[in-house]
Amino acid sequence: MYQRTINRPVEVVGIGLHKGESVRLRIEPMDADSGIIFYRSDLGRSIPLKTESVIDTRMATVIGTPDGYISTIEHFLSALYAYGIDNLRVILEGNEMPIMDGSAISFCLLLDEAGLRELDQPKRILKIRRPVEIREGKKFVRLEPSETASFDFEIDFAHPAIGRQRFRFDFTRRSYTEEIARARTFGFARDIQYLQSQNLALGASLENAIGLDDERVLNSDGLRYPDEFVRHKILDAMGDMMVSGYNLLGRYRSFAGSHDLNHKLTLALFAESANYEIVTLGTAKVPHYERCFA
């Protein structure tokens, strides 16, 4: 299996979640072994996608530096993970990704429009060799060795529309578009009102998120999946794992995980070389991945 990029440049315009301003996103193909590079065209600054580039995880995953960053990259990265994209230039005119409809499906459609192209170098994946866990109270995130790639997430919200939900997702590109990609981010009306008073979440609306009051879902069209909330958490987790620059061969598990815990997990993973192995497909046979992107 070989590294992938896109076939041709494409672009889209959307609204930024926090500033509420129009954001132009353009993606361009890159050569093998280039990696995924974000570029702030308004600053003339490149930001490579890697764990060390993360500077904030409080409300979203943010990469760069305080004077030149890009926020809310996780939904876009989740789509890149699903499509097996290894090399890409991501050009933005501002400091956040467009939120689109609050899920990853618009980015999947953008990649479909661009088309995929295989390059002349074999794909590399990140194989989990030893269990690695981050735990804070009852909350935890964990990576475990496995010969397949899966994401197992559980949440528990004291809200009648959510409650306790668990979903295990066995990764393939096709199942991602059917089971995960359309799951939207969600927020509580009381929290959105406070954030907007602080000049945050100015672009948030029922067009790009599931809104909840104290008792019910506010969106007139309801939910896309009965357990859309936990499926979106898996979508986020896939994006956060993609910050490493690799697809994973292993099992991700979480209870009440977050962007912050996911970032701490990747830092802990790379802290000891015995935790992982970078496997070159073609040199090593990994039948699971040959099926994942078929």
Residue 125 near residue 11, CB atoms below 8 Å: no
Alpha helices in the chain (DSSP H): 74-83, 105-114, 173-179, 189-197, 228-242, 259-271, 287-292
For the question of residue 18 being annotated catalytic, the response is no
DSSP single-letter state for residue 184: P
Residue of 18, 75, 232, 259 with catalytic role: 259
Angle at alpha carbon of residue 117, lines to 251 and 101, rounded to 5°? 60
CA-CA-CA-CA dihedral for 117, 278, 175, 140, to nearest 10: -140
Please state the length of the chain.
Answer: 294
CA distance 228 to 170: 16
Token output for 236? 């986020």
Token output for 26? 């353009």
| Residues involved in catalysis | 259
